[in-house]
Amino acid sequence: MSLKKQAFSGFVWTFTSNLGTKFTTLVVGVILARLLAPSDFGLIAMLYFFFEVSRVLVDSGFSQAIIREKEINEEDKSTVFYISLFTAVICYIALWIGAPAIARFYEEPQLTLLTRVMGLNLIFASFTIVQNAVLINELKFKTLGIIAMAANVLTGLIALFLAWSGMGVMALAIRYVLTSLITSILYFAVLTWYPKVFIQKRSLKKLFGFGSRVLLLGVMNTFFRNIYNLLIGKIYTPAILSFYSQANMFKENASRGLIDSLSKVTYPILSKDRDNRARMKENYRKILQVTSFVVFPSMILLAFVAEPMILALVGEKWRQSIPLLQILCVAGLVSHIHVVNLNVLKVYAAGNQYVLQGIIKYALTVAGVLVGMQFGLSGLMYGIVVVEYLHLLVNIYLSNQHLSYTYSEQGLDLLKVFWLNIPMAGVLWLTSLPEYPAPVFQLLVMTGTGLVMYILTAHLTNAMAWKYMVELIQGQLRKRKISTAAETTAHVETA
């Protein structure tokens, strides 16, 4: 299979699995939101900061380092396995010892037990970092997708049963741990691998050269991405933090599936074809337009239907999430653009530039937090938006040095897609004016009419992004038809 076909096939499978995973997460989250109190979600969100930083330390940047290798040898895999496992154990011990201090910091005694239970996630995840990296390197996104969906569905059902049984916040904590455990079991089932040697100095030196930069930036990125959870959890109540987390969950479910797919697929694909910069630039332009064709309307639609959606799905007790979700959607409009720009830097091993853009982002984040806090919770939210857009300018500038894809070129390509959303926005505003008998009816009417207007506008104007989408879908359908015909012929001949 050609690299282009592998790229599209990988993107389809990754996007489909992420979409399925996000849909399952949304359904489970909606039901759990009705079964549990907002403060339960807030308690879990308070710990995300510590677990996300620990997760990056466990990975140590080594998974990204071996993914970019053309061939992964046994020495590299064994070295990554043991480093990850040892780091996971150290992090878990630190979390176990520090759990009472975390509880005192937030003034929430329950966090001691929650930290010690949820920390097991790190150890379970460390066992299969190698398998995950190998499957990505070999572009086996179908396998990765099936594993992710299976684990998510199973842990979702378990969490619902536990919540229904009255276990409260522990239902969320147990699901967090079981997700890593079940995922690891499935990885071993499809790719049975055990380390053949111990840590090899040669592999460690080679991988650490690139992995250390990814690790440094990963820790910094995770720190500042979760600093809002830390601040909101400390300054406000668990319930207030839960409103922010719920809003962020809806935003992430609407965009993260596509963004994660884009990140996983474009990095290994571009790594294997990094010598042909002209082709990379052309493919990047198509990727940017196609993903924008999906992300832009998703964020705009979500912002308009935020009120009826939250009231219909999770109920009146989550109303305070509505304005937070609408602000986060503005930031979500450009999240996918960051991904590919950063992957360009990783592909060309521009470690210094990769770290530089991270440092600039964190300086902007600190400034945004300090200024935003003066205006309360809404000020913090608007700070997220400002930082996101200023950081985007930095990323475009740095990636342009490798692909010669300038501000004006990217802006023009994005504008060609963005204007398609204007008629949809007008329809959404008009359909939001009447009184509806129930929020669910308003949600259905606004979503249906908005999507119809968007697709109709794209089709009538024959937009380039729409043509790309149609070509991709038609190509995949032809591929499936040929594959089915071949299987049928083979079956007949065998018979």
Give me 28's structure tokens.
Answer: 């489970």
Q: What is the mean pLDDT of residues 376-393?
A: 87
Least confident residue range of 174-178, 179-183, 475-479: 475-479
* Residues ≥6 apart with Cβ < 8 Å to 190: 143, 147
- Of residues 303 and 404, more confidently modeled: 303
**Amino acid 124: pLDDT:** 92
**Amino acid 70: pLDDT:** 62
Residues of the chain above pLDDT 70, percent: 78
Give me 348's structure tokens.
Answer: 């060309």
Euclidean distance between CA atoms 330 and 328, whole angstroms: 5
Euclidean distance between CA atoms 284 and 294, whole angstroms: 16
**Amino acid 450: pLDDT:** 95
Q: What is the mean pLDDT of residues 12-21?
A: 60
DSSP string, 349-374: T-HHHHHHHHHHHHHHHHHHHHHHGG
Q: Is the pLDDT of residue 261 over 60?
A: no
C-beta separation of 338 from 391 below 8 A? yes
Which H helix or E strand runs over 32?
Answer: helix 3-35
Residue 200 burial (CB < 10 Å; 0-12/13-18/19+)? middle
Euclidean distance between CA atoms 267 and 186, whole angstroms: 24
Q: Is the pLDDT of residue 20 over 70?
A: no
Q: How confident is the model at residue 68 (pLDDT cuts 50, 70, 90)?
A: low
Q: Is the pLDDT of residue 357 over 80?
A: no
CA dihedral sign of residues 160, 161, 163, 167:
negative
Least confident residue range of 126-135, 169-178, 341-350, 405-414: 341-350
**Amino acid 474: pLDDT:** 64
Least confident residue range of 66-75, 144-153, 279-288, 363-372: 66-75
Q: Is the pLDDT of residue 254 over 90?
A: no
For the whole model, what pTM was predicted? 0.72
- Of residues 217 and 226, more confidently modeled: 226
b/e string for 75-91 if b means 16 or more Cβ within 10 A? bbbbbbbbbbbebbeeb
Measured CA distances, 212 to 209, 282, 284 (Å): 6, 31, 27
**Amino acid 423: pLDDT:** 95
8-state DSSP, 334: T
Q: How confident is the model at residue 271 (pLDDT cuts 50, 70, 90)?
A: low
Q: How confident is the model at residue 18 (pLDDT cuts 50, 70, 90)?
A: low
Q: Is the pLDDT of residue 346 over 70?
A: no
- Which tens digits make up the pLDDT trace of 422-464? 999 999 999 999 999 999 999 999 999 999 999 999 989 888 7
Measured CA distances, 91 to 87, 172, 219, 233 (Å): 6, 21, 14, 22
- Which tens digits make up the pLDDT trace of 288-310? 887 888 889 999 999 999 999 99
Q: What average pLDDT does the chain have?
A: 81
Euclidean distance between CA atoms 489 and 492, whole angstroms: 5
Q: Is the pLDDT of residue 214 over 80?
A: no
**Amino acid 418: pLDDT:** 92
Residues of the chain above pLDDT 90, percent: 28
Q: What residue spans define the domains of the chain? A: 1-257, 273-495
Euclidean distance between CA atoms 254 and 443, whole angstroms: 15
- Of residues 60 and 241, more confidently modeled: 241
Q: How confident is the model at residue 191 (pLDDT cuts 50, 70, 90)?
A: confident
**Amino acid 274: pLDDT:** 59
**Amino acid 494: pLDDT:** 53
